[in-house]
Structure 1
Amino acid sequence: METENNNRKKRIYVRLTDKEFTTLENHLKNTTCNKLSDYVRRCLFDKPITTITRDAATDDLIVKMSQMNFELNAIGSNFNQLVKRINASFQDTRFSETLGLITMQRDAITRKMEEVKNELQKLAEKWLR
């Protein structure tokens, strides 16, 4: 144990109020540590510390996903306007079949847009924690 203390050459200084120091001493009394420095070291190094690092690649991904989300909304809006215009202009039976297929495609696009929006929202919430 003596050689371990010889390796400790660095010091840190912390100022405490009287109340904080009394609390620290009271906590020390409830432990098996003989010295205040041993107790402080255990407090500093035995508890896990959560660190958050930001990954630039993930930041870029979020920006790209946001842009794609905007573009998908614009495409869906334009498609919906086109279908409404076609529906209002023509009442031909053959055209109605084609319109039905277009409507099915619109619904598929809308579902995919919602899926992308939901995943983007989950990713953003996770990343912004």
Structure 2
Amino acid sequence: MKQKSKREKWLHVRLNQSEYEKIQTQFKATTCRKLSDFTRRKLLGQLLVGTFRNASIDSLTEELAQLKTELSAAGNNFNQAVKKLHTLSKIKEFEHWLISYELDRRALLRQVEKVSEHISKAAEKW
């Protein structure tokens, strides 16, 4: 199995505006997602795939990542609300409600986890 080594060394390069724009133009024409990855590959003479990137897939990936964050936040908020309601469990009327919403909370969190897994798998493919 191939092990990745930790990148600990820094290389600082100063560019003028036209040099920077040339590098940005070349970077955008590749499939590299990060400028650092592009620059590292270019400097080390590694293969750079220069194909058209599908902007709609990139947009979808960004939206899915945002959705994943929002679902996680909603699950956390729901969890906090249920924990707060557990402090009121001494009142008989809340006991039945708490049991019902605890089951709903667990179902919601399972669904959020499933969505999160699917988003992660889709992001790995792209």
> In which range does the TM-score fall when normalised by the shorter chain?
0.5 to 0.7
Partner in structure 1 of residue 120 of structure 2:
121
User: Which amino acid in structure 1 is aligned with residue 115 of structure 2?
Assistant: V
The CA RMSD measured in Å over matched residues stands at 1.8
- Take 1:90 and 1:100, find their aligned partners in 2: how far apart are those partners? 10
More helix by share: 1
- Identity of paired residues, percent? 35
Shift of 1:94: 2.9
| Structure 1 runs, 4 residues or longer, greater than 3 Å off | 50-53
In structure 1, runs of 5+ residues without a counterpart are 1-49
Partner in structure 1 of residue 96 of structure 2:
97
- Take 1:89 and 1:52, find their aligned partners in 2: how far apart are those partners? 59
Matching of residues 1-129 of structure 1 within 5 Å = 53-127=52-126
- Take 1:52 and 1:116, find their aligned partners in 2: how far apart are those partners? 30
- Take 1:92 and 1:115, find their aligned partners in 2: how far apart are those partners? 35
How many correspondences in the alignment?
78
- Take 2:64 and 2:98, find their aligned partners in 1: how far apart are those partners? 31
Decide whether aligned partners of structure 1 residues 52 and 117 sit closer, same or farther in structure 2, where only a CA change above 3 A counts: farther
- Take 2:82 and 2:69, find their aligned partners in 1: how far apart are those partners? 20
Decide whether aligned partners of structure 1 residues 105 and 52 sit closer, same or farther in structure 2, where only a CA change above 3 A counts: farther
Q: Which has the higher contact order (CA 8 A, sep 6+)?
A: 1
Question: What TM-score results when the alignment is normalised by the length of structure 1?
Answer: 0.55
